[in-house]
């Protein structure tokens, strides 16, 4: 994996560029404004709901894959809090739409709190983990965020990957990140075998199907 110091520096540079571009892009501006006060909101959540299962999704597509998993977790263990974070404004919109759809039917969403994700840098992630106090981190598909995985290890929080699909063998860098996970659920046996070879570790890899397909059927 890339040296954390260099990775942090690169993310900070990207963040500075996004700030400069914000006046010209509503989507970038929404993402930056949505993260204002994030540490305070997450700290308040962690004080009320310590030990949450934290799902992190990039955008609306990953949210669709995560929802059936969260629904099943909430059904099996309703007392366990679920926190979901999204990287993009598209993820925020998808969360709001799902909350609205369920409200019309008198149903609750499986998460106890939804918010923007922290920047993928050490300082932001340190504050987030300290505030949220999660018991488990769940990533989706192939969203292997280096800073997030480093922070999870530093805080001794196990990480899992669900709905993972790999049409080709993971790269050497991805293999190192996959090796940091405790459990991986793939959509098929082919992906599971590619991960076993790339990760070269005793991490548990299981083909468990595609929750996105379940999501489509449930909505149908």
The residues carrying an active-site annotation are 62
Distance CA(78)–CA(96), nearest Å, equals: 21
- How many of the other CB atoms lie within 10 Å of CB of 161? 24
Sign of the C-alpha dihedral computed for residues 128, 153, 59 and 102 taken in this order: negative
Question: Strand 136-140 relative to strand 204-207: parallel, antiparallel, unpaired?
Answer: unpaired
Q: What are phi and psi of 149, to 5 degrees?
A: -65, -40
CA distance 173 to 154: 19
């Amino acid at each position: 994996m890339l040296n954390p110091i260099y990775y942090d520096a690169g993310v900070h540079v990207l963040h500075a560029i996004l700030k400069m571009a914000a006046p010209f892009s509503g989507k970038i501006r929404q993402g930056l404004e949505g993260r204002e006060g994030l540490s305070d909101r997450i700290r308040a959540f962690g004080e009320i709901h310590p030990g949450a299962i934290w799902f992190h999704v990039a955008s609306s597509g990953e949210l669709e894959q995560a929802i059936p998993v969260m629904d099943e977790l909430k059904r099996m263990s309703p007392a366990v809090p679920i926190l979901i974070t999204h990287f993009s404004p598209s993820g925020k919109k998808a969360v709001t739409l799902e909350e609205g759809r369920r409200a019309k039917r008198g149903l609750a969403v499986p998460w106890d709190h939804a918010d923007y994700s922290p920047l993928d840098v050490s300082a932001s992630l340190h504050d987030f983990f300290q505030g949220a106090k999660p018991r488990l981190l769940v990533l989706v598909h192939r969203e292997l965020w280096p800073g997030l995985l480093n922070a999870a290890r530093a805080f001794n929080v196990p990480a899992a990957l669900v709905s993972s699909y790999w049409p080709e063998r993971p790269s050497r860098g991805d293999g190192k990140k996959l090796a940091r996970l405790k459990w991986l659920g793939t959509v098929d046996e082919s992906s599971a075998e590619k991960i076993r070879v790339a990760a070269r570790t005793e991490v548990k890899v299981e083909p468990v199907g595609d929750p996105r397909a379940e999501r489509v059927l449930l909505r149908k």
